[in-house]
Amino acid sequence: MHKPGHKQKYSNRPSVSDLPKREESKRKDIQNLTLRGSAGTVQKFLSESDKADVFEGKWRHMDKYRRENLWQQWQKSGKPSVTAWSQKEFKKSGMVMPEQSWRPGTGRAFYSPIKNRMTIREGAVEDFFAELAHAAQWGAEDKSKRSSLWDKFKAPWQRMAYGEKVYDMPSHIEYQAHREIQPKMEKEYISSSPLYGAEESKPNPLNIRK
């Protein structure tokens, strides 16, 4: 209890008058099934994925089964937060694919182990699994799937010495993430749907998502 005229030391603490507003906000989130924290960032990504025109080839169908599988794999891989950047934001940061890559100049997704955060292109499921593979190297529930401390330690030095060649080096975490972990994640995600197999044999000229 503060004396009259006493200034509260911790001004960032909610006041009594703020509580009804916060409770109302929580009620609205519950009514709208809006999640909070890192789970909320995944929910936002899924919402953006439904709107984004990025579904091609094996990514063209995201049904309830694949949504559920994406959630499960995210939970088992350390529950990283997800930040979606526009192409403008990637260019501003300098994080773009090199000229010799298969999609030069486009946004280059990345993972920050310190913040446990994936930064990916808006609605890009492919980027999601590419960076989730790195998250798994640091915080997978199954510790046997995590990269060793030695692999993590030597990775930056190898990157400086070999550049983009590290993606073809079995001893580097980039190779481990994108040649070993990511393909397994993608296969699990795609094959989790009853559409798997049938969708490959049927033409989809309008790129219709089910």
Parts of the chain with a pLDDT under 50: 10, 27, 29-32, 203-210
Q: How far apart are CA 103 and CA 14, in angstroms?
A: 48
Strand order in the sheet with 110-112: 81-85, 117-121, 110-112
Q: How far apart are CA 188 and CA 43, in angstroms?
A: 20
Query: For residue 107, what is the DSSP state?
Result: B
Q: What angle do CA 176, 177, 183 make, to 5 degrees?
A: 100
pLDDT of amino acid 203: 47
Taking residue 149's Cβ as centre, other Cβ atoms within 10 Å add up to: 8
- Asked if 81 contacts 41 with a C-beta cutoff of 8 angstroms, the reply is yes
pLDDT for position 63: 85
What pLDDT is attached to residue 123?
85
What's residue 51's pLDDT? 64
Closest CA to 83 of 129, 46, 49, 41: 41
Quote the pTM value: 0.75
> In whole angstroms, what is the distance from residue 43 CA to residue 40 CA?
5
Give the pLDDT score at 30: 41
Copy the structure tokens of residue 18. 């703020």
Cβ atoms of 121 and 131 within 8 Å: the answer is no
Predicted local confidence at residue 99, as pLDDT: 83
Asked if 49 and 125 touch (Cβ cutoff 8 Å), the reply is yes
| Token reading at 202 | 């049927």
What pLDDT score does 196 carry? 81
Q: What angle do CA 205, 206, 210 make, to 5 degrees?
A: 110
- Residue 74 has a pLDDT of 97
The Cα 43–Cα 158 span in angstroms is 35
CB under 8 Å to 153, separation ≥6 — which residues? none
Q: What is the pLDDT of residues 29-76, one digit of tens each?
A: 444 456 788 999 999 988 877 665 555 566 767 888 999 999 999 999
Give me the amino acid identity at 177.
A
